[in-house]
Amino acid sequence: QPVFMVAAACGALGFGVMNLLMAATPLAMQQCSLPFADVALVLEWHVIGMFAPGFFTGHLIKRFGVLPIMGVGVLLNAACIVVALSGVDLHQFLIALFLLGVGWNFLFTGSTTLSLQTYTPAEKDRAQGALNFFVFAITALSSFASGVLVTTQGWQLLNAGSLIPVALTGAAIVWLGTRPHAALPRAL
């Protein structure tokens, strides 16, 4: 089921990039000699970015469609990386992680919504299990990799490397959006 695979890939890659950058941020900020209070502030705004949009993301998906909202999530992730690559001052960490949180919300909510439209009620347990496996396997991998990558490769290279899964996520959304409408589930 190609639509399910795109939903799973976008959910996994979106969650993985978010977790990779979020988990590495405190270490990167410490390497830049920023105080713990600044780290806490950045993570607070990241969490707000992750969950505050939840009050309206579903309405945006109903109004504009799931693929456009997922596309905005990809663009927000890319904007996060651009901001993070622009420097290592407090405001750059703060803006980057807030954008990352909102981007994650749009991608993950969109991926979940997309996946719900791809299977029958009889398939729901297996489909949800497969989706959760993909998402949390990539999340676990990014958790283990984040500290190692930021301390050995640096914040700049970690962010630059994150452009690859962000680009793959965007390419999957574009590919799905250009498929014949007969192959897409309803309400896309």
Q: What is the pLDDT of residues 141-167, one digit of tens each?
A: 999 999 999 999 999 999 999 999 999
Tell me which residue range forms the domain holding 6: 2-183
Asked if residue 179 is part of any domain, the answer here is yes
Position 188 in a domain: no
Cα 36 to Cα 19, 25, 42, 92, distances in angstroms: 19, 12, 10, 16
Instruction: Determine the Cα angle at 88 with ends 155 and 162, to 5°.
Output: 35
Q: What is the mean pLDDT of residues 127-145?
A: 95
Q: Look at residue 180 in the predicted model and tell me its pLDDT.
A: 78
CATH code, domain carrying 127: 1.20.1250.20
Q: Based on the structure, what is the number of domains in the chain?
A: 1
Mean pLDDT of the chain: 94
- For the stretch 23-78, pLDDT in tens is 999 999 999 999 999 999 999 999 999 999 999 999 999 999 999 999 999 999 99
Phi, psi of 187 (to 5 degrees): 65, 30
Instruction: Let me know: does 138 contact 16? Beta carbons within 8 Å.
Output: yes
* 110 CB-near residues (< 8 Å, 6+ apart): 10, 57, 61, 66, 67, 69, 70, 73
Whether residue 187 is predicted with pLDDT greater than 60 in this model: the reply is: no
* Tokens representing residue 157 in the block: 């290279």
**Spatial separation of the C-alpha atoms in residues 86 and 111, rounded to whole Å:** 29
